[in-house]
């Protein structure tokens, strides 16, 4: 049996099939790359919404911190007002005691010296506390203006942030559908302005702007007043038990008792003082009973 040494045939069929498989594989790889690349690009573009939310969050954080700062400054003003009221009470009390004991040789000299020392302290301390309260009140006003500016600037920063991120990730994106669009700007501004609100103490004090505006501002101011009053310590709210009790004097059917009282409050409704202002009072009274 004999075989031919060489065999002949057509291999182009296998070559075409091989090229077809390779082409499909290359096409699949390129398509997968494009899909992944497009997905990444779109994800980066969508991240612009997250960046805008971060801008809004920064504005809210700024409001929260400045609100806390305003409460802290209001408490410091309360402290200054309380100190002035206390030193005035102490000066007046020592003056009355010095007058009463002036006819007693040694005691009168001592009480007069105490009164002179307290009066000198009052002359220096009272202007200092009043100056501090004025500065703190001015700083509160600055914080209020800073909140207003930050609130307004957030709209501009959000718009610029969205445009910048979109353009960096995809320069071909039509930015006319961004916050620059009138409708979207209006919607974002409405949400931005309605989520937080400002109150104006002058509206409450003057009872202006209509009943609806008055009630809205008063509700917010009452809330701020409540938070502030809850932030002060017991010395500001009641000062009638921070010195040893003075015993009662009983003379048969006649009884006499010295009582000291005092408090500091942020004025609310129903007071003759200006709404939203600090008032303080310290007294020493003689209560008699027969």
| Spatial separation of the C-alpha atoms in residues 128 and 84, rounded to whole Å | 9
Q: Are residues 190 and 101 in the same domain?
A: yes
Residues 260 and 166 in one domain: no
Q: Do 109 and 160 sit in the same domain of this protein? A: yes
Both 248 and 191 in one domain: the answer is no
pLDDT value, residue 212: 81
Residue 2 within a domain = no
User: Which among 181, 161, 165 has a CA at the least distance from the CA of 173?
Assistant: 165
- Report the distance separating Cα 132 and Cα 278, nearest Å: 14
Q: Render pLDDT for 244-279 as a digit per residue (tens, 0 to 9).
A: 445 555 555 556 666 777 888 887 655 556 667 888
Residue 77 and residue 71: Cα distance in Å, rounded?
Answer: 10
For residue 181, count other CB atoms closer than 10 A to its CB: 13
- 257 and 123 fall within a common domain: no
Share above pLDDT 90 across residues of the chain, in percent, rounded to a whole number: 6
Residue 175 in tokens: 């930015």
| Angle ∠(61,65,67) on CA atoms, nearest 5 | 115
Please tell me whether residues 44 and 128 are part of one structural domain.
yes
| Per-residue model confidence (pLDDT) at position 143 | 92
Query: How many angstroms separate the first and last alpha carbons of the chain?
Result: 153
Please check the confidence at residue 84 and state whether its pLDDT lies above 80.
Answer: yes
pLDDT at 142: 93
Helix (H, G, I), strand (E, B) or coil at 254: strand
pLDDT tens per residue across span 10-22? 556 566 666 666 7
Residue 43 has pLDDT above 80, yes or no: no
Structural domain that includes position 124:
22-197
The predicted structure's pLDDT at residue 244? 47
* 243 and 128 share one domain: no
Residue 153 corresponds to which tokens in the numbers above? 């600037």
Provide mean pLDDT across the span 190-205. Answer: 76
pLDDT at 242: 44
Residue 82 has a pLDDT of 87
Q: What is the pLDDT of residue 66?
A: 92
Whether residue 204 is contained in a domain is answered as no
- What CATH number did the domain enclosing 118 receive? 1.10.287
127 and 253 inside one domain: no
Per-residue tokens: 120: 């000198």
Q: Are residues 26 and 157 in the same domain?
A: yes
Q: What is the pLDDT of residue 243?
A: 47
Q: Can you tell me the distance from the alpha carbon of 234 to that of 230, in angstroms, rounded to the nearest whole number?
A: 10
Domain count, the chain: 2
Shared domain for 190 and 54, answered yes or no, is: yes
> What pLDDT is recorded for position 73?
92
Q: Could you say which of 197, 221, 251 is where a domain stops? A: 197
Mean pLDDT of 198-219: 77
Sequence-ordered alpha helix ranges (H) in the chain: 12-100, 105-169, 182-195, 201-206, 210-231, 234-237
Mean pLDDT of 153-180: 70
Is 37 part of any domain?
Answer: yes
The answer to whether residue 225 sits within a structural domain is no
Q: Angle, nearest 10°, between helix axes 182-195 and 105-169?
A: 160
For the stretch 50-79, pLDDT in tens is: 777 888 888 999 999 999 999 999 989 988
State the Cα–Cα distance between residues 226 and 35, nearest whole angstrom: 57
> Does the pLDDT at position 151 exceed 60?
yes
Quick one: 171 and 248 in the same domain?
Answer: no
| 243 shares a domain with 136 | no
The predicted structure's pLDDT at residue 38: 63
Question: Looking at per-residue confidence, does 28 or 122 come out higher?
Answer: 122
Q: Share the mean pLDDT of the chain.
A: 76
Residue 139 has a pLDDT of: 92
Q: Is residue 11 part of a domain?
A: no
Show which of 142, 169, 197 is a domain's final residue. Answer: 197
Domain membership of residue 42 (yes or no) is yes
Judge whether residue 132 has pLDDT over 70.
yes
| Confidence bin at 146 (pLDDT 50/70/90) | very high
Residue 189 falls within a domain, yes or no?
yes
Q: pLDDT at position 9, please?
A: 52
CA separation, residue 18 to residues 7, 24, 163, 286 (Å): 22, 10, 48, 114
DSSP-H helix ranges across 101-176: 105-169
Which one is predicted more confidently, 75 or 169? 75
Give the CA angle between residues 175, 177, 181 to the nearest 5°: 105
Categorize the per-residue pLDDT at 211 as very low, low, confident or very high, splitting at 50, 70 and 90: confident
């Amino acid at each position: 049996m004999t075989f031919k040494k060489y065999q002949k045939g057509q291999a182009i069929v296998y070559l075409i099939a091989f090229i077809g498989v390779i082409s499909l594989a290359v096409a699949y790889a390129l398509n997968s790359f494009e899909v992944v690349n497009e997905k990444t690009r779109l994800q980066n573009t969508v991240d612009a919404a997250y960046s805008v939310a971060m801008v809004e969050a920064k504005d809210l954080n700024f409001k929260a911190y400045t609100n806390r700062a305003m409460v802290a400054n209001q408490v410091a003003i309360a402290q200054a007002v309380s100190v002035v009221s206390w030193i005035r009470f102490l000066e007046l009390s020592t003056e009355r005691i010095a007058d009463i004991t002036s006819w007693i040789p040694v005691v009168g000299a001592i009480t007069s010296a105490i009164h002179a020392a307290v009066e000198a302290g009052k002359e220096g301390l009272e202007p200092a506390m009043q100056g501090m309260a004025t500065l703190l009140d001015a700083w509160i006003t600055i914080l209020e203006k800073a909140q207003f500016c930050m609130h307004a600037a957030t709209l501009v920063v959000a718009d610029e942030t969205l445009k910048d991120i979109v353009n960096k990730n995809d320069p071909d994106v039509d930015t006319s559908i961004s916050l620059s669009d009138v409708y979207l700007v209006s919607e974002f501004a409405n949400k931005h302005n309605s989520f937080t609100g400002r109150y104006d103490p002058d509206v409450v004090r003057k009872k202006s702007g209509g009943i609806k505006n008055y009630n809205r501002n008063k509700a917010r101011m009452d809330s701020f007043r409540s938070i502030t009053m809850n932030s002060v310590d017991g010395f500001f709210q009641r000062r009638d038990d921070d010195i040893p009790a003075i015993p009662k004097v009983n003379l048969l059917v006649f009884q006499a008792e010295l009582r000291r009282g005092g408090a500091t409050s942020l004025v609310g409704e129903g007071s003759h003082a200006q709404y939203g202002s600090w008032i303080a009072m310290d007294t020493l009274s003689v209560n008699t009973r027969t």
